[in-house]
Structure 1
């Protein structure tokens, strides 16, 4: 499940960052400096992830997302422990 989830997150990241399909996105990449996602892009990214994956990411969590892996880890935790 987490591989599929990680792939979906990468797909959303590519869409938000307007990256070509052939660009490889890895967990170590920084969302801001490597992928060019600014503060407005982070809001867009969170909204897309919430909509596509039917989860709710708290605003306070967004500042903790430095790398792709940070985002993936947080989303996996939310998906594994849904709040009613």
Structure 2
């Protein structure tokens, strides 16, 4: 899957399902601060990522993510690993 498609899908569910202001989403923005998710929201996010991309992110993955760029890259890498 192309990176642009990953970004489009991810931004769409962040805006529509997690009520994130689309104007606040940028590659450099802090993921955790922008999303403002609690622990239950992270579980929902894992489920949404899995249903949209067919990959599962774990706690260790989220700890490594600081920016939206990290978020997209992690999903992209997980998809590549799955398809390898």
Aligned residue-pair number: 82
The CA deviation at 1:83 is: 6.5
What are structure 2's unaligned runs of at least 5 residues? none
Cross-structure match for 1:9: 10
Deviations 1:4-38 (A, max 9, x none): 11111111222343135xx3221111122223223
Cross-structure match for 1:18: 19
How far apart are the structure 2 equivalents of 1:6 and 1:14?
Answer: 12
The CA deviation at 1:56 is: 1.9
4+ residue runs of structure 1 moved beyond 6 angstroms?
none
Cross-structure match for 1:33: 33
User: Secondary structure of the equivalent of 2:27?
Assistant: coil
Q: Which protein has the bigger helix share? A: 2
RMSD of the alignment, in Å? 2.1
What are structure 1's unaligned runs of at least 5 residues? none
How far apart are the structure 2 equivalents of 1:66 and 1:4?
Answer: 21
